[in-house]
């Protein structure tokens, strides 16, 4: 229920209303804390896949590349959020939409940079930039392509994203990819902090109320961090080496065209755009009790794409609207976009301070693993929830079964495509592209009355 001490009921439903500053500031920071872990985790996963994260030779140097990627995740989440809340021209919904680094793109990014070190980041960031520009252009047609992605298709895609990531969560919780094959991997010493994270997260989520329930994963990670600290698993080397202020560097890793990454990013931009449409509608329904206007949906999509493109220029990862913050607005009843603007400014300040990225780097990988196991499971659950809206007749079951079997099979057995080119392997073994292509094609080709 909304706190009427923040303003009248009509004021709280008004995106242009600003609550008293003493209450607006903590509300804005609450939005940041609710998305903080999810926002920085993709950078850590991608750095690890590239071989510049935990367990790599960069450890002696304080993980400078991973710290920079985390820093950019914070900075451009804030900047992209300002695109949404303040806006300019047609860009921005002028609604309290929080932007952050998207998990949806991770299954595309992992094979694109696997084992390539920082040399693989040039192609990735170029793909992020071009994919962002494509995403921006979707703002002109987003309303006309929604019918191509019914719950059968979008639910399957979200489920595949989660299934592609759960393996990463377990690997992290057991000690991380660098330890695989070594005696420490999967030991009780590795699993204990991760299990503490999971247990505390679930306890807080189900038995706490208010802000604590919203920030359950963050609280769980802090608990696991404390356990890991007592077990001597926390290393503060990177924190001592990091500076107090640094500016983003355009094209830090260079510029390189990689057609597989570009195609993958453009495809996922469509998925992200549809997700943003849903989040925009969720905010207006939950906060103001109305449908989102076409102008708001188009502006949100423009901001989504532009935020991703600009992030790619400076070495950041793709941005999208964050669904957990949609729920936070419904919980607080505060629709003010200026509250979220305060949160965005906080993210931007953090993004200019490498010490913050280095502090995040002190979180052991097994502790992070406990958190992402929960988060990735929630991605799967979100996909299943979307699929609950499907009419499970024989036609739709066959579409789902065919798309799931082929896409998940290729993801589990990537060697089945070893005779194809590198581009085709990256796109097809992610599981997302074949799942979406097959589901969309069959959904459009097969008549609705097939069961009759």
Tens digit of each residue's pLDDT, the chain (452 residues): 455 566 677 777 777 887 888 778 877 877 777 677 778 888 988 988 888 876 666 766 667 888 889 889 999 999 999 999 999 999 998 998 889 998 778 888 888 888 788 888 999 999 999 999 999 999 998 877 767 778 888 788 878 877 877 887 888 888 876 666 788 888 899 999 999 999 998 898 888 876 677 667 778 888 999 999 999 888 887 777 777 888 899 999 889 988 888 988 998 888 788 778 777 877 787 677 777 788 888 999 999 999 999 999 999 999 988 876 776 676 667 788 888 999 899 899 888 988 887 787 788 888 888 887 887 787 788 778 878 888 899 999 999 999 999 989 988 888 888 888 777 777 788 777 788 889 889 998 888 776 65
| Whether residue 342 sits in one domain with residue 272 | yes
**Angle between helix 64-85 and helix 294-313 axes, rounded to 10 deg:** 160
Torsion sign, CA atoms 291, 293, 296, 300: positive
Q: How far apart are CA 332 and CA 191, in angstroms?
A: 36
End position of a domain, from candidates 363, 381, 410 = 363
Two tokens at 7? 């303003």
The answer to whether the CB of 96 falls within 8 A of the CB of 85 is: yes
| Whether residue 443 sits in one domain with residue 338 | no
Residue 324 lies in a domain: yes
Two tokens at 25? 């500031």
Q: How far apart are CA 358 and CA 242, in angstroms?
A: 6
The answer to whether the CB of 126 falls within 8 A of the CB of 261 is: yes
Tell me what pLDDT residue 450 has.
67
| Whether residue 107 sits in one domain with residue 35 | yes
109, burial (CB in 10 Å: exposed 0-12, middle 13-18, buried 19+): buried
116, burial (CB in 10 Å: exposed 0-12, middle 13-18, buried 19+): middle
Residue 423 lies in a domain: yes
> How far are the Cα atoms of 2, 201, 233, 374, 429 from residue 212, in angstroms, in the given order?
17, 10, 26, 16, 38
360, burial (CB in 10 Å: exposed 0-12, middle 13-18, buried 19+): buried
Residue 21 lies in a domain: yes
Residue 212 lies in a domain: no
What domain range includes position 431? 391-452
Question: What are the two backbone dihedrals, phi and then psi, of residue 67, each rounded to the nearest 5 degrees?
Answer: -60, -40
| Whether residue 395 sits in one domain with residue 358 | no
First to last CA, the chain: 47
Residue 428 lies in a domain: yes
CA geometry: angle 59, 64, 66, nearest 5 deg: 85
Residue 161 lies in a domain: no
Residue 329 lies in a domain: yes
| Whether residue 129 sits in one domain with residue 31 | yes
The answer to whether the CB of 136 falls within 8 A of the CB of 307 is: no
| Whether residue 24 sits in one domain with residue 125 | yes
Question: What are the two backbone dihedrals, phi and then psi, of residue 432, each rounded to the nearest 5 degrees?
Answer: -75, -50
Domains identified in the chain, total number: 2
Q: How far apart are CA 274 and CA 289, in angstroms?
A: 21
| Whether residue 298 sits in one domain with residue 434 | no
Q: How far does Cα 297 stand from its chain's mean position?
A: 20
Query: Strand, coil or helix: what is 54?
Result: coil
Tell me which DSSP letter residue 18 carries. Answer: -
């Amino acid at each position: 229920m909304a706190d009427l001490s923040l303003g009248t009921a009509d004021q709280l439903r008004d995106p242009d209303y600003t609550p008293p500053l003493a209450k607006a500031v903590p509300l804005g920071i609450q939005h940041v804390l609710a998305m903080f872990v999810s926002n920085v985790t993709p950078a850590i996963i991608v750095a690890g896949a590239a071989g510049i994260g935990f367990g790599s030779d960069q450890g002696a140097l304080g993980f400078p590349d991973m710290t920079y990627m985390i820093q950019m995740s914070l900075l451009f989440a804030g900047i992209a959020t300002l695109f949404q809340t303040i806006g300019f021209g047609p860009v921005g919904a002028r609604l309290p939409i929080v932007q952050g680094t998207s998990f949806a793109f991770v299954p595309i990014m992992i094979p694109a940079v696997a084992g390539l070190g920082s040399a693989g980041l040039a192609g990735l960031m170029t793909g992020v930039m071009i994919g962002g520009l494509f995403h921006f252009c979707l703002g002109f047609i987003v309303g006309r392509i929604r019918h191509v992605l019914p719950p059968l298709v979008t639910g399957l895609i979200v489920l595949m994203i989660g299934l592609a990531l759960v393996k990463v969560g377990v690997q992290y919780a057991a000690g991380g990819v660098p330890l695989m094959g070594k005696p420490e991997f999967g030991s009780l010493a590795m699993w204990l902090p991760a299990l503490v994270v999971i247990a505390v997260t679930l306890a807080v989520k189900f038995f706490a109320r208010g802000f604590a329930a919203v920030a359950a994963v963050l609280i769980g990670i802090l608990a696991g961090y404390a356990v890991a600290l007592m077990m001597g698993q926390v290393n503060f080397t990177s924190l001592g080496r990091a500076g107090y202020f640094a500016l983003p560097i355009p094209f830090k890793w260079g510029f390189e065209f990689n057609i597989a990454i570009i195609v993958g990013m453009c495809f996922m931009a469509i998925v992200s755009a549809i997700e943003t449409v849903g989040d925009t509608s969720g905010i207006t329904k939950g906060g103001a009790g109305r449908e989102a206007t076409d102008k708001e949906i188009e502006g949100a999509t423009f901001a989504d794409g532009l935020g991703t493109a600009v992030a790619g220029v400076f070495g950041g990862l793709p941005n999208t609207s964050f669904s957990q913050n949609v729920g936070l607005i419904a919980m607080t009843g505060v629709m003010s976009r200026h509250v979220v603007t305060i949160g965005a400014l906080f993210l931007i300040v953090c993004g200019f301070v490498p010490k913050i990225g280095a502090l995040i780097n002190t979180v052991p990988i097994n502790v992070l693993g406990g958190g992402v196991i929960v988060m990735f499971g929630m991605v799967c659950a979100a996909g299943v929830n979307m699929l609950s809206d499907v009419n499970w007749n024989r036609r739709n079951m066959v579409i789902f079964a065919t798309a799931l079997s082929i896409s998940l099979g290729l993801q589990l057995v990537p060697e089945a495509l070893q005779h194809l080119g590198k581009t085709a392997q990256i796109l097809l073994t992610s599981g997302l592209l074949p799942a979406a292509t097959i589901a969309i094609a069959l959904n459009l080709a097969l008549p609705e009355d097939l069961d009759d």
